[in-house]
Structure 1
Amino acid sequence: MQNECLLFNDEAIKIWMRDRFLQELVSGQHPRKHDLKETLASLSVNPYYTFPAIALLEIAAPAGREQERACVAERARDELQRHMGSGNVAFLDEEGRVVLLFSWMSKEKLDSIRGMLADRFGPVFIGVGKPCNHLSDVGRSYKQALTALRNKFYHGAKRTIYYSELQSFSSDAGYPAEREKELYDLFRSAVGKEEIEEAVEAFYDGMLQDGYIPISSVYEYTIRMLVGIEKRAQEDESFFQSYPPLQIMEIVKVETLEELKRYVCRFLAGLWEVTAPNRKESHRSIIKKTLQYMEQECERASLQSVARKVYMTPTYLSLLFKNNTGKTFIEHLTDIRIDKAKDMLRSTHYKNYEVAHKVGYQDPRYFSQIFKKKVGLSPSEYRESACR
């Protein structure tokens, strides 16, 4: 029993010494290049690598549970060492992340490693530095792997992130205020949570249309957008039931863009449900008034003019109309105009161009094209068939 304890302690000390030495190596604190291979061999570490490189792994363990994260990292290191074999070495860096020192020739194993560890421990982020000519230079590969790992925000855990494949950030054009307004219009007019998810996706697509921007800007703009929408919702609703306020610290803990989108969708969906009772009644009233104006003023009605009458923005009214009627504003206005034109062609002696003007078409040829497309007959043909 005593010998087993000594063996355990010797092995634990050896692992500690190995990790400590490798931490110094990747941080550039090991100046003695001439005895590097001898030292590695004495620590049972393979001293021969074909283009050595560093892969840095981070297990997405629950934030704030540091002791659990440390235990998970140790288990992941041991699993990784068994999977990669004795030709490569896994250890923990000073921040408790798993580091893999490997030969570049075996980089194809990294994807299978990610899958294997993900099955055991959950999502795994992997950043990989460039290969080096000499083992003494792996500190540079380690720094590159760390930079790649920091880009997990955009790349997530679904792929291995190589430093050599990273995109440079685009210039930050500033907060997209117009896109916040568009998102809020879509939020207000939505009839289901799926539409909210599509609107959120469109917001971020627009924000990143010119390429990735600094991650800090994405967090900042997300917070500004959610605060802005929350305030708009409170101002627009005649009653606003209690709803948990935005928790900014929860946002900055999110590690990837996909997680951030899911957080935003959950928050907006909850806000949407709270305002639903009042919103549905308001929507019915707006659509009813809109239809009345379209019927009464079809010859001069436009999306802009009707939106002013119902105190809505054209964008919001357009979305609201489509979601509640199944037709676009223009489609329904065209149907109204064609129905009125049919009545005139049947019951009056107005010439075709006069009918066109009275229902809102200044160009008689365009009116004839629309009429035939909708009815299947030209205005003259329709009048002749109606008079038989």
Structure 2
Amino acid sequence: MIKVFLVEDEFAIREGIKKSVNWEEHGFTLVGEAGDGEIAFPKILKTRPDILITDIRMPFMDGLELARVVKAEIPDIRILVLSGYDDFNYAKEAISIGVDEYILKPVSGDNLLQELGKISDVISSRKKEEKARQKYMKDMEEIRILERQKFMHDMINGKISVQESIATGKELGIDITAPFYSIILIQVFPKEPDKIDANEYSGVSEEIYGKIKEIYDGESHVYPYEQVGDVLCLLEKADSINEIEENINNIIANMKSLMDNYKDNIYFISIGKIVERIRDVNISYADANRKFAERYMCEDSFVFCGDDFPVSGRFGEEIDKDAIGPEDFDLSKLDIGAIDIRMISKKTIFHFLRSGTLSEVDDLVDEYFESIGKEATESTIIRQYVLVESLLSSAALLESLGVDKEKSSEILGDLSETIKDVDSSDRAREYISTLLKKVIEYRNKISDKKYTEVIDKAKKYIQENYQNDEMSLQSVALNVNISSNHFSTIFRKETGETFIDYLTTVRMDRAKELLTCTAVKTSEIGFEVGYKDPHYFSYIFKKTQGISPKEYRRVKKES
């Protein structure tokens, strides 16, 4: 129904207008009336009518003044002015205000309906257009999310200037201006990673990250986005040191409470140093990232932060820096197979090989050797190295990455021969870094191949089901068994376009084929390619192709 509000100071005329039209029969509903503009104005703001019918000459506030103030508050409202005076100046002013129709009294019910009908058609068209636009914006939300993620990534890594950060943030609805900033990194691991499928692990962490985002949805002091390696990165900002410290402690408390429902997982939080400039946010990120490397050496959930940061409820076991004693041993008599690799946490390297990145290798190795203790002897360092090598050579570990025995030997080499060449801590560090990087690089190759297969499967599913109006990022991600956010990221990385862009292209290509080669109605073509709403199909077609479906068909026939 089209909502109408009537303003007329003469009671008899107002009653006559009300009774001369069968409002509901013609698709209208009279939502209010008033005897002058001053009384009418607050009622109009409350009822938000689509059409205002107003007399031009009234006491207190006349029709033109009412039209002016109403237009300022409700720009899309349509106004029909009634006047007993055939005055050109009134008409000219009415047009300048944005009045749609200017008609002389007395007006019959038929004439009023005729004018209302013309305005109603415009309103209906506008509402359909707005509905299509809203649906389009919802469909495009994937692009907006990716744009926000890219912006946060570029800002945190110092890739854009302060001016660009402020301007781009404003465009994306992110206000990053504040006196104090800090970066917080969060990652979730399964307690028994060797028993968890990689896709299932990603799904659980995605579920947890989604709940964290829900907690802070609508909050202006913290902005979350996913970082490479299944890490959730939060930008926290505040007006004072005390406020930012309190906010960070709340993040820790919320995470701790949330994880009570995920007993099969452990989690880690790293707090970057608090900085006072936007340009220094990348310093906070680097600080948080450096400390975060220690998470691979923890058996339980842990918060990493500076000694001067007042963390409430710090949890987890401290890293045991004396786990390996400094006893000497004879390398020539060393039996690698007899080493008890339980002296080092299997999870350390397992987690790293599953989730770590090449850029984290050096930080991990540095933190790992530092954990031995400053007074460690050369033999202790080498022993640590041997333990790591033994762990890396574990068949179960490498098989979890898709590495068969032959490939494992090719990647790691002959361990017994390598040990003889390691005679210092520097050589041990260098070799462990090289070894880890080799395995990570191989893991990345496997992942790239897996992602290619996933994308090919997703494309095939889209090609076969694009007619389904219910198809979405979530439904396709579910079909390929990957979380929607992760799927969105890898789809864009592998194809160079977003999922919604790809789906729309598939649908538009088929629509253009049907418009060119058949005489099927455009509304039916829209339904055929996955759009139940013909108006929305026309909206999308014109948005992407530059012309309407009917114009496209005409141009093709004439060419």
- Answer yes or no: same fold by TM over 0.5: no
TM range (shorter): 0.3 to 0.5
Taking structure 1 as the reference length, the TM-score comes to 0.43
Higher relative contact order structure (alpha carbons within 8 Å, sequence separation ≥ 6)? 1
